[in-house]
């Protein structure tokens, strides 16, 4: 979390464009990546991410600080925007796991990573949308259970249950004993 995040939010809620610009810069990549994984289309992700930040700017004065990262509120806006878009335009597209960035990876590790990632992707088709979302936010984005609970507007115990059920579904479908190599630059999940 950015040390001055709360002050930035307070300034932005008083319609300070510089403060909101700083928040935009801090969170744009995360929100864009989340939307892109859902849509798989650059043009749609560009438009939808812009819309998320526009809605955030319009509603910033209604944001109430609760000690959680500002991104949880942005993810909720993004999620609601995705739902609205797919309800009106087409069926929901399943979330694929994160693509590895091979820069700085040993070639053998990169191949291994892609193979394991493909295994996880194919196993994800057995998950519900909520289970898929919990695992993506937890293991690919590195959010804590309590942060995911805020993003998804669920109780932490419900998120834990979704995670547990999802992992039980995935376990027999992904070769046991081999962990997915960590993606370079990915956040490490925080225990709750």
pLDDT (mean) for 100-114: 66
pLDDT above 70: residue 90:
no
Residue 29 CA neighbour count, 13 Å, CB half: 5
By the 8 A CB rule, do 89 and 97 touch?
no
Give residue 52's pLDDT: 93
Q: What is the pLDDT of residues 24-76, one digit of tens each?
A: 999 999 999 988 888 888 888 899 999 999 999 999 988 887 777 888 899 98
The Cα 39–Cα 90 span in angstroms is 11
% the chain with pLDDT above 90: 25
Give residue 152's pLDDT: 86
Q: Which CATH class is domain 5-89?
A: mainly alpha
Task: List every span in the chain annotated with CATH 1.10.1740.10.
Answer: 5-89
Residue 146: which residues within 8 A CB-CB, separation 6 or more?
Answer: 68, 156, 192
Q: What is the pLDDT of residues 140-169, one digit of tens each?
A: 778 889 888 888 889 999 999 999 999 998
Give residue 89's pLDDT: 56
Residue 162 CB-density burial (10 A; 0-12 exposed, 13-18 middle, 19+ buried): buried
- pLDDT bin (cut points 50, 70, 90) of residue 179 is very low
What 97-106 contacts at long range (C-beta under 8 Å, 24+ apart), as own/partner pairs, is: 97/121, 97/124, 97/136, 97/140, 98/33, 98/37, 98/136, 98/140, 98/183, 98/186, 100/183, 100/184, 101/183, 101/184, 101/185, 103/184, 104/184, 105/184
By the 8 A CB rule, do 167 and 178 touch?
no
What is the rounded radius of gyration, in angstroms, for the C-alpha atoms of the chain?
A: 17
pLDDT (mean) for 8-14: 90
Task: List every span in the chain annotated with CATH 1.10.10.10.
Answer: 107-173
Higher pLDDT, 173 or 134: 134
Give residue 59's pLDDT: 92
Residue 134 CB-density burial (10 A; 0-12 exposed, 13-18 middle, 19+ buried): buried
Report if pTM > 0.85: no
For residue 160, which of 192, 190, 186, 128 has the smallest C-alpha distance? 192
Q: What fold does the segment set 107-173 form as a domain?
A: Arc Repressor Mutant, subunit A (1.10.10)
Give residue 25's pLDDT: 92
Give residue 95's pLDDT: 42
Give residue 177's pLDDT: 39
């Amino acid at each position: 979390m950015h040390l001055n995040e709360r002050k930035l939010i307070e300034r932005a809620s008083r319609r300070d464009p510089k403060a909101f610009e700083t928040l935009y810069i801090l969170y744009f990549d995360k929100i864009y990546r989340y939307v892109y994984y859902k849509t798989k289309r650059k043009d749609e992700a560009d438009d939808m991410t812009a819309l998320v930040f526009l809605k955030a700017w319009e509603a910033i004065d209604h944001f109430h600080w609760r000690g959680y990262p500002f991104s949880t509120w942005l993810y909720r806006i993004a999620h609601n925007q995705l739902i609205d878009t797919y309800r009106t335009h087409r069926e929901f597209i399943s979330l694929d796991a994160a693509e590895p960035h091979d820069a700085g990876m040993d070639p053998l590790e990169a191949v291994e990573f892609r193979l394991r990632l493909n295994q996880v992707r194919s196993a994800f088709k057995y998950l519900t949308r909520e289970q898929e979302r919990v695992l993506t936010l937890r293991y690919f984005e590195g959010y804590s259970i309590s942060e995911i609970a805020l993003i998804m507007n669920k109780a932490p115990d419900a998120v834990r249950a979704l995670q547990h059920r999802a992992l039980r579904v995935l376990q027999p479908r992904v070769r046991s004993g081999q962990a997915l190599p960590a993606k370079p630059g990915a956040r490490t999940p925080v225990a709750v």
